Amino acid sequence: MSSPVAVEDLHLAYGERPVLAGVTLEVEEGEVALVLGGSGSGKSSLLKAILGLERHQRGQVRLFGQDPTALPEEEAAQLRRRLGVVFQQGALFSSLSVAENVALPLQMHTALDPAGTAQLAAGLLELVGLGPAAALLPAQLSGGMRKRAALARALALGPELLCCDEPGAGLDPAAGAQVDQLLLQLNRRLGTTLLVVTHHLPTIERLAGRLHLLEGGRVVFSGTLAQARHSGPAGVAAFLGP
């Protein structure tokens, strides 16, 4: 079976400024893959290129064995619906309730009737511990609650691959740990493949997946946390700390 994500020799620049300079990595089915790097290392740009939100100048991104840019528009859209995305700020629609935000992908991409849509959205909110908050607006939620609502929405279409950009950003330690535990439950109970962009050490330690460290627009290390600390390059150990 093809890997959910395969990136090969990816180059991306903004004008004259290179950001990715030959990134190659692969995310296996069912694994937790963590893309790490300091500010400006290119990790968020890599995620955007994988999602098709940024156009790369050279190299290839394959999702489930296919290059979306080589497919007709409708086929590429169907391929990308196999992915769920949790953006750093949640990207919830401020004028919609939490339940309406979660229901939106179901309304757009399924033939469920309103009752079925509402039932599934309610179940997803229960899954992330937000059942009592269904009628609230995003502005009425804490940061951790917004992240969990965004996670519920990302799960609406049953994605095989879930991509998260800095899931712990801006959260207090307890809320960050709660989001990380939800991600682990999805991976362990449902087999959802996780691709997580982060620089947050507690998240790295809790998710304990395969690390891909970006530096200078390239992957300079791939391996486990233990390997990174005990046998990785000096720059990896410095990034992770003691």
Task: Return the pLDDT at 1.
Answer: 62
For the whole model, what pTM was predicted?
0.89
Distance CA 20, CA 13 (A): 7
- Phi and psi at residue 183, in whole multiples of 5°? -65, -45
Distance CA 70, CA 66 (A): 8
Task: Spell out the domains of the chain, with CATH numbers in brackets.
Answer: 1-82+161-242 (3.40.50.300), 93-158 (no CATH)
Task: Return the pLDDT at 162.
Answer: 93
pLDDT, tens digit only, all 242 positions of the chain: 679 999 999 999 988 888 899 999 999 999 999 998 877 788 889 999 999 888 888 999 999 999 998 899 889 888 888 999 888 766 788 888 999 999 998 888 888 888 999 998 998 898 888 888 889 999 898 888 888 899 899 988 889 999 998 888 777 888 888 889 889 988 988 889 999 998 888 888 899 899 999 988 889 889 988 888 877 666 676 677 66
Rg (CA), the chain: 18
Q: Are the beta carbons of 36 and 214 closer than 8 angstroms? A: yes
DSSP assignment of 29-86: TT-EEEEE--TTSSHHHHHHHHHTSS--SEEEEEETTB-GGGS-HHHHHHHHTTEEEE
Task: Return the pLDDT at 10.
Answer: 94
Q: What is the dihedral of CA 38, 181, 88, 114, to 10 degrees?
A: 160
